[in-house]
Amino acid sequence: MIWSEKQSTYITQPFEHTLEVNEGTPRSAKTTAIVFRYALYLLQSDDQNHLVVAYNQEQAYKLVMECDGFGLIHIFDGNCRMRHDDNGDHLEITTPKGIRRVYYKGGGKADSHKGITGLSLGSVYFCEINLIHMNMIQECFRRTFAAKKRWHVADLNPPAPFDPVIKEVFEVQDTSWLHWTINDNPIITPERKEEIRKTLLKSPYLYARDWEGKRVIPAGVIYAMFDPARHIKAKLIDDKNNQTMVELFFSADGGQGDATSCACNIIIYDKMIKKYIMYRVAHYYHSGTETGQVKAMSTYAVEIKSFINWCEKKFRMHRSSVYVDPACKSLREELHKIGIVTDKANNNGKEKVGASKGIEVGLERAQNAINDGLFYLVETDTYSHYDFLKEIGMYCRDANGKPIDAYNHAMDEFRYSINHFYTDYIN
């Protein structure tokens, strides 16, 4: 294992603050350092129960328990096992001081905090804390009031300067703060760093945030009007029977090194406002580049078929269509082989509306849908919107006003779904 000087110093420093915030760029190696520091804390702690919380449970497991082969299950290999009890899924670790239970849960929903009510904790690890609902964050701090060695640690990429987590959490707690950049990662080569730097230079916003690690006000973000507080709903149908489900359909875009993304979308007619609304209710997403696991297109097809079946069973509707990017012929062919009929998505390749043409037509439609209250996400524990939310906040234009070819895999597929919605229900 190769450590940078910053990582080594951080892992072994005393536990002197209530909250440690590790903020910095992607690929800065902060998560690996935090996981090893957390393992050291668990060996010293006299408290039995601990918690890892991320946007969803899958991310909590992936980032801390697994951590690309360096997570807690690997650090404590031979002295730990996965268990489940009344408080939920957890890693049970045998330490010199006794059994330690590390629960892992999702915290992105408004009612996520109900899952830890009554649970006494010694520590909490917040993964990407700015994506966790504030109700969950504050409940976590309350759950550690009686801890013998009270400690919390958080990681995040640089948020906007006025993100609520800064004022309501970082400035309230006894907080220490450590800044990380890609230069703190000892395993990324100079050549790869230069490749990343040149890519990020195309957007001043992305360069400041993802290379320099600065908190910057989003500039050039295409869907800056998307507000999680406004555009994420707890449930699909209201309690007043004013809404009718009209159509369930899927939109997909495929890649192997790039991400493969498939969304379940439901059109609802609202009788009160006399309008059709599109709800994005579930999301399948996998990136070979991000995970280091490149899958065959036939494997993606099988997993997407399972996703489709899950959605149809959950929402009790049969799909009208599966719209796939026409450029992704291999995914369409593999889906056809296993009985999933697809249609070519409208990718705006030949469209012209007014002064807009091509992809700009779809982008404007999506912006209008968000602004006009015609598009929402619906919270879900399975097939969550984690990757959609990451992309929608990062999808930007370059200095020439052109959409940058980055953070756009779910965004492309989102645009295809909006094109169908507008063509069939708005225009």
What distance in Å separates the CA atoms of residue 8 and residue 14, rounded to the nearest whole number? 12
Look at residue 123 in the predicted model and tell me its pLDDT: 98
Q: Which helix (H) or strand (E) holds 250?
A: strand 243-253
Look at residue 239 in the predicted model and tell me its pLDDT: 67
Query: CA nearest 369: which of 427, 409, 326?
Result: 427
CA 135 centroid distance within chain: 18
Alpha-helix runs per DSSP H in 46-103 = 57-60, 72-75
- How deeply is 250 buried, as exposed, middle or buried, from its count of CB atoms within 10 A (0-12, 13-18, 19+)? buried
Please state the CATH superfamily assignment of the domain spanning residues 15-185 in this structure.
Answer: P-loop containing nucleotide triphosphate hydrolases (3.40.50.300)
φ, ψ at 395 (rounded to 5°): -75, 110
Buried b (16+ CB within 10 A) or exposed e, 134-162: bebbebbbebbeebeebbbbbbbbbbeee
State both tokens at 290.
């991000």
Q: Which helix (H) or strand (E) holds 312?
A: helix 297-315
Q: Which helix (H) or strand (E) holds 34?
A: helix 30-44
Q: Domain limits of the chain? A: 15-185, 228-426
- CATH 3.30.420.280: does it fit domain 228-426? yes
| Under 8 Å between Cβ of 122 and 93 | no
What distance in Å separates the CA atoms of residue 323 and residue 332, rounded to the nearest whole number? 9
What distance in Å separates the CA atoms of residue 108 and residue 139, rounded to the nearest whole number? 13
What distance in Å separates the CA atoms of residue 23 and residue 28, rounded to the nearest whole number? 10
Query: Phi-psi bin for 118: left (phi > 0), alpha (psi -120 to 50), beta?
Result: left
pLDDT, one tens digit for every residue, the chain (427 residues): 899 999 999 999 999 999 999 999 999 999 999 999 999 999 999 999 999 999 999 999 999 999 999 999 999 999 999 999 999 999 999 999 999 999 999 999 889 999 999 999 999 999 999 999 999 999 999 999 999 999 999 999 999 888 899 999 999 999 999 999 999 999 999 999 999 999 899 888 889 999 999 998 777 889 999 998 899 998 888 766 788 999 999 999 987 778 999 999 999 999 999 999 999 999 999 998 777 788 999 999 999 999 999 999 999 999 999 999 999 999 999 999 999 999 999 999 888 887 788 999 999 999 999 999 999 999 988 999 999 998 998 899 887 888 988 889 999 999 999 999 999 999 7
State both tokens at 294.
């490149």
For residue 10, give Cα distances in angstroms to 67, 73, 122, 212, 213: 18, 21, 20, 20, 18
What distance in Å separates the CA atoms of residue 61 and residue 103, rounded to the nearest whole number? 10
Which of the 8 DSSP states describes residue 130? Answer: G
The CA dihedral of 142, 61, 282, 256, to the nearest 10 degrees, is: 150
Angle at 132 between CA 130 and CA 133, to 5 degrees: 110
- How deeply is 270 buried, as exposed, middle or buried, from its count of CB atoms within 10 A (0-12, 13-18, 19+)? middle
| Under 8 Å between Cβ of 307 and 284 | yes
Query: CA nearest 340: which of 381, 307, 373, 375?
Result: 307
State both tokens at 336.
């056809």
For the segment 239-270, what is each residue's pLDDT rounded down to a tens digit? 667 889 999 999 999 877 789 999 999 999 99
Look at residue 356 in the predicted model and tell me its pLDDT: 82
- How deeply is 46 buried, as exposed, middle or buried, from its count of CB atoms within 10 A (0-12, 13-18, 19+)? exposed
SS3 (DSSP) at 155: strand
